Amino acid sequence: MKKAISLLLVLVMVGMITGCGGSEAVHTSAEAQEEENITESDTGEENAEGGKAEENAGEESTGEDAQTDVNEEKTNATVAQVEIDEETKNELAIELLKEQEMDTSVLENTRATKGCTFTLPDTFEESEDMPGMYVTKRYPIDASTIYYVALDQDVALQLMTEETFKEQAESDFRQAYNEDIEVVIDSFERIRIDGYPAFRILCHYEVNGIEITQLEYAINADKSYVITYSQTGDYDRMEEYEASAETIRLEY
């Protein structure tokens, strides 16, 4: 159980800090049956009113064509809006950073990076289940994990605050677990790693009676690098995590 929870929590937190996420519509068997019943009912009504439908065929066709044109216009407008939003996202983020007098140095760092390195604690090794995940040699008995991921640059990441981090984390947990989980921020710091703006966030929360503590580093360079150190209440590896974090460096 700890294994499943620790893996999901890490992914939720990384998804939150990078602004990733999405949803799919899923039809249950009950919904499918209801749709089938509606279809059968509609078919019966159509058969009963067949004559009337034929008499009004031309008029209905004209109405359907007009509605189709309207729908196409709405769809095209929506697609255009999405494209505009994507193109102007960084520009809007830059404007907000300047207006709020926040750190804009991320705009000045144009040097290409190849990745991020850090020294693993001796008791950790690479996981066979997930790329970028490192687990203890006693995993899942000791469900402590270290997770590293590199993503595309996101200038908007620099707008993150302690309040937005907490709100988004609790919202993502609510979607994942369908319950309210309070995220307690122990510290939220804006730091620099190898000259790049970064965040150091220490927080804790409880899920299904399991206490989780996470230490997260997010570096905003030409790419976004996130390293998340996690532990359960049964183990205290924070000293090892802090020592590992001190070795975080960017590769060029």
The 10s digit of each residue's pLDDT in 184-203 is 999 999 999 999 999 999 99
Predicted pLDDT at 77: 47
Question: In this structure, what DSSP letter does residue 182 have?
Answer: P
pLDDT band at 56 (very low <50, low <70, confident <90, very high): low
Question: What percent of the chain clears pLDDT 70, i.e. is strictly above it?
Answer: 63
Span of 79-93, 111-125, 211-225 with lowest mean pLDDT: 79-93
Predicted pLDDT at 98: 74
Residue 65 has pLDDT above 90, yes or no: no
Burial class of 239 by CB neighbour count within 10 A (0 to 12, 13 to 18, 19+): exposed
What CATH number has the domain spanning 2-17+104-251?
Answer: 3.40.1000.10
State mean pLDDT over 110-127: 93
pLDDT band at 31 (very low <50, low <70, confident <90, very high): very low
Question: In this structure, what DSSP letter does residue 44 have?
Answer: H
Contacts of 21 (CB under 8 A, 6+ apart): 15, 172
What b/e readout covers 149-185, taking b as 16+ CB neighbours within 10 angstroms?
bebeebbbbbebeeeebbebbeebbeeeeeeebebee
Q: Where are the alpha helices (DSSP H) in 100-206?
A: 162-177
pLDDT band at 155 (very low <50, low <70, confident <90, very high): confident
